Structure 1
Amino acid sequence: MALSPMMTPPVATLVGVPAVSVTPLDCAGPNACDIVSVYTSVFWIAMVVLVIVGGLLVYAALRFRRTDDREPAQVHGNPRLEIVWTAVPLVIVSFLFVRTTLRMDYVRNGPPPQQTVQVTGIQWAWSFKYPNGKTSISTLTIPVGQVIRLQVTSKDVLHSFWVPRLGGQIYAKPGFQNSGWIEASQPGTYYGQCNELCGLYHFSMTLQVNAVSAEQYQAFLSGAPPPGGAAAEKVTGVPAAVNVGQTDALKFVPATVTAKVGDVIEWKNNGSLVHNVVFDNGQVPSSETMNQGDTFEVKFTRAGTYSYVCKFHEANNMRGTITVSGG
């Protein structure tokens, strides 16, 4: 059984799969940890207030209980007590106000960034554009220990970018650009989710952040050949031997095709919805976001069977397969 990135440990344990941590309390970067520190202050102060108030209520209920209908003694004001129960909450609220206000600018804007990534929410996936123009879908790769500025927007409806262990949520609004930042303190994979109900397949709008070393990040940006070498190359302006359409019915047509080594396969978005072509095998290049009328061509240089998916509509099982023979 595949593990949902946002599956909590208790649920994962029940279904018999390994658990992953997505709790904000298990922070893995300075932004998220700063949010946790403010939350922790509020939590423990609230717990102290709860114990004191709850304890006084229990004490009063037990100490002054009566078994008859006589009216108890009436107390008409106690200035000292009234000053105390007014001053103490005022001090607590003032402390929390100052504590939160002093951290808001840091959580929102952070230190000067080393990288800026453009983030676009599209039903139902995330598109990332890096400083050198490289793009990726649903997986954001960042270097460990660097501040990453995120410029977040939406192509269709309201979304919310949120990777709990790395920072707070950032709203993605159509026609508007929000800004936020994340930083990973250690290498690893961190999972996120659109945190705003955005349509029928909102549940599938997950993402992951891969925090890697600076060397691995540069290799990722430069498009270093995958292990085993490339099995295909992206081309343009070459006549296609096989044509595959992308439709608003959320299907590749045809979904299964055959080709020979050296053949060019062309995908064309024939509908009004956004699509893309992302291969399961990293040895085949994937497309960028494809709007209506856009095309994407790949020339295969190695025989094999290659599966691909539209990441925006993966929950709809918008998948295809190419079997390449010869060579």
Structure 2
Amino acid sequence: MYRRHTIGVIVPAYNEGGRIGDVLATMPDFVDRIYAVDDRSTDDTWEIIQSYAATSTRATAESAAVDASQSGGERIHASLPDGGAVVGSEIVPIRHAENQGAGGALRTGYVHARDDGVDIAVTMDADGQMDPDQLPKLLDPIVDGDADYTKGNRLADRPSRREMPPFRLFGNWLLTQLTKIASGYWRLQDPQNGYTAISHEALSAIDIESLPDDHDYPNDLLVRLNVAGMRVADVSMPAVYDDEESTIRYSTFVPATSITLLRGFCRRMWARFAADRLHPAVLCYAAGIAALIGAASIAVVGGANAISGDPSVREPIAAAFAFLAGAGFLLVAMRVDARDNAGLGVRR
């Protein structure tokens, strides 16, 4: 336990046989339960997880191998007490019957942690990039009652940013800006950071079973948290880069994440529209998007007229005016949106 709170750590893994052993072995003693989710690896990841689970402090028949189906697998029947009876970390090995992706593996761990009733569920990748000694920094804001969800932030200071490869740094910055708009958490950075913690209340308040399968799951999760009114804290957290290879396939990640962000933004706006049909942020966003679409349409008409030999200055002027109006509406919408969500972004 950590400050009278039970802690469950979810470790999703796919072909991490060379690293997952170190992650499991260096887990802090205050962690009560480790959900090691093998996403149908083709190397010896599953055998290593089983080996560590067999020697974990409280390994029992109920924490033996669980073959998880696409629906999330069997529920662990052992309940986690809210007292100090748990000694050491129990490793719960879970294996998917089929590969479900990074989000799918995390979803399975979340469902088990929620159903077992752990107070705080942590996610920690199996590639060794996340320092277990930093875990209290994620837990404290939740334990103190300041936040419902915390996440690592590798962009908080210059030394941490220098550790990140330039290509990842630029992509992370761009994705940060888009995720701010979609999620409403305007203070957050590094949205793809997989080192997170979530309270049992927040985990129970969102539809975790419908979390996306791929690497766009953090963006979708943030939208769900905002709609549920949960407070999110960014925690400065260094990352360790070694010779590991990213499992992200950008040919599928970029379009999938773009769709997730757009869908999440629309879901969040609809939730606000349903609560307040005259909400200024929703109205300004709608007006700005409509004006930009109008500007593009006018520009197309003007271009067609020019090609046909009937050029006119009216279309370019009208398109420019519509574009400026649209940009102005969007800036106002973002400002109002950021103001209204300021209380959900926690500074630590």
What range is the shorter-chain TM-score in? Answer: under 0.3
Kindly indicate whether structure 1 or structure 2 has the higher relative contact order, using CA contacts under 8 Å at least 6 residues apart: 2
Q: Choose 1 or 2 for highest CA Rg.
A: 1
Q: TM-score normalized by structure 1?
A: 0.23
> Which has more strand, going by share of residues?
1
Structure with greater helix percent = 2
- TM-score by length of structure 2 reads 0.22
